[in-house]
Structure 1
Amino acid sequence: MPNYLQFLIVFLGGGLGSCSRYVVSKVISSQLESIFPWGTFTVNIIGCFLIGIFIGMIQRFQFHPNLTVLLVTGFCGGFTTFSSFSYENYLLLKNSEYLLGLLYTFMSLCWGFAATFLAIFLIRRF
């Protein structure tokens, strides 16, 4: 049986995350005109850092489980953009931008992992 309160919490967090993604992506894309998808890249790295902060804080301070549902599942799930990342890679490859597609994938993975691990480390350290 689903927990309806948690469903609503995910709904709220996801909506806030999606709206935040839209704003951040639009601002970045308007400032950096390029074939490289800077908006999505930036959102994904910020999202990786945020999920690290949220998980680190939740583990360290043992917050209520609903906060995990709100921040990690809801907000970060709505904020990060793996489907956009996938589609933008498709477009780069379709346009024969092979090196840029490889660079985008590599940078997203490396910086994403680094941001998550850095955030968890910082929360645990301080």
Structure 2
Amino acid sequence: MTVLLIALGAAVGAPLRYLTDRAVQARLGSSFPWGTLTVNVVGSLLLGFLVGLPVGPGLGALLGTGLCGALTTYSTFGYETLRLVRAGGRLRALANVALSVTAGLCAAAAGLTLAHTLTP
């Protein structure tokens, strides 16, 4: 049953990642991986929030592993960072790494803090 919950969450998270990435890139351009940064930060915020709530294993599998796991993407982050380096954008690549790691950690901490604030 857990595997089905994960698959269901992933079936929502993966298209959401794609559509969000496309929408952000259309608005901001593709010289910097803003779409991937956006989904990774949003996913980190959501996962931090879920971890701070008293959710059961089923809901954790559906939303945490399935939805957040498919919404966020470390492989694309790595690929896009290397693509920036290869295109001569070492400073942009470094900025991508620094911004992604810092914003992701801060978002996870903010989500955790929000969940602890909202629950008794």
What's 2:115 paired with? 123
Q: How many residues align?
A: 118
Separation in 1 of the partners of 2:8 and 2:37? 24
- Tell me, which stretches of 5 or more residues in structure 2 are unaligned? none
Whether 2:57 is the aligned partner of 1:65: answer yes
Separation in 1 of the partners of 2:39 and 2:68? 10
What's 2:4 paired with? 8
What amino acid is the match of 1:11?
A
* Counterparts of residues 26-45 of structure 1 (less than 5 Å): 26-45=22-41
Whether 2:20 is the aligned partner of 1:24: answer yes
What's 2:97 paired with? 105
Separation in 2 of the partners of 1:119 and 1:74? 18
What's 1:85 paired with? 77
Q: Which runs of 4+ in 1 moved over 6 A?
A: none
TM-score, normalising length: structure 2: 0.94
Separation in 2 of the partners of 1:116 and 1:23? 22
TM-score, normalising length: structure 1: 0.90
Cα drift, residue 50 of structure 1: 0.7
Quote the sequence identity (%): 35
Cα drift, residue 89 of structure 1: 0.6
**Deviation digits for residues 40-93 of structure 1, max 9, x if unmatched?**
111111111010111112xxxx33211111111110000001110000011001
